[in-house]
Amino acid sequence: NVSARRVTDDGEVTPQFWMSASGVDKSALHEIGRDILLVHGYDPTRDVMQLRVPQGVEPRRVSVDAIEHWMIYQHHPDVGAILHIHAWMDGIPATDVNFPCGTAELANSVSKLIDAEPDPAHAVIGLRNHGITATGENLDEVLDRILPRLQLQVPMT
């Protein structure tokens, strides 16, 4: 999945972010509120992400990884985009536990590992037996940085 921080027309950086919907072809993100969702909050009491959807649009489900992206954007205002893929890179810090996707435990673990990186705005973190999450200025910058080192097979331990 992919996400990008929302920046207002006057340049204000917000904690809100645009994120690909669950199950959508990431090369064909077209309809706002259906393919691309605006995440504007998280309700910890109900453990649900809060979306803003245009009137008359029936939204798809937001990615289960939205909570992870939310935590990263909250802690790091300099992160402009996040990419999560099912691939691997050698030599990156990784979660110790294979937490279930979409859980607060996984999101907290990844967020803490990003916090510990020398440059959290340009980090790559492994999710044990699952894939990676990478932060950057924008999605092009993230892809340019990680593609040369990417391994398509995730090691299982």
pLDDT tens for each residue of 98-157: 888 888 899 999 999 999 999 999 999 999 999 999 999 999 999 999 999 999 888 887
Q: Cα–Cα distance between 30 and 46 in angstroms, integer? A: 30
At position 140, the amino acid (one-letter code) is D
Q: Cα–Cα distance between 127 and 132 in angstroms, integer? A: 6
Could you tell me which residues are beta bridge partners of residue 135?
A: 82
Q: What is the pTM of this model?
A: 0.92
Q: Cα–Cα distance between 110 and 125 in angstroms, integer? A: 7
Residue owning tokens 């099912």:
86
Bridge-based pairing state of the strands 81-85 and 2-7: antiparallel
pLDDT value of position 155: 85
